[in-house]
Amino acid sequence: MENHNVIWTPVVREKIIEFRSERFTPAETLNFISQVIIETENLLKNPIIGKTYKEEFGEYTGVSRVVVKKFKIYYKQFDNDIVIIGLLFPGENN
């Protein structure tokens, strides 16, 4: 079984930590973001189970996409590296 490395680009890392919701306290927000990151990495590292799609429209046309907790996460795979290149918050349009 191959080991995949999930790489979050600096732009995506900065964007995800900017996520805020009126429904969450700062501590709950940090926990929620952590869960999104863990679930995303687990999903992308699993070679058998995949819920990925190719984006058909917008800025990320043709790029692979996975949805985790309503976050759209765009990535490209280079050998064993999965590079996350974009992220849309729930309700955010591309």
Q: What's the domain count of the chain? A: 1
pLDDT digits (tens, 9 = 90+) for 82-92: 999 999 999 88
- Residue 93 falls within a domain, yes or no? no
The parent domain of residue 52 ranges over 5-88
- What's the CATH number where 36 sits? 3.30.2310.20
Q: Tell me the pairing of strands 81-88 and 71-78.
A: antiparallel
Confidence grade of residue 76 (pLDDT, cut at 50, 70, 90): very high
Percent of the chain with pLDDT over 90: 59
**In the prediction, which pLDDT does 69 show?**
93
Confidence grade of residue 80 (pLDDT, cut at 50, 70, 90): confident
Q: Tell me the pairing of strands 52-54 and 5-8.
A: unpaired
Phi, psi of 57 (to 5 degrees): -140, 165
pLDDT digits (tens, 9 = 90+) for 4-26: 899 999 999 999 999 988 888 99
- Residue 66 falls within a domain, yes or no? yes
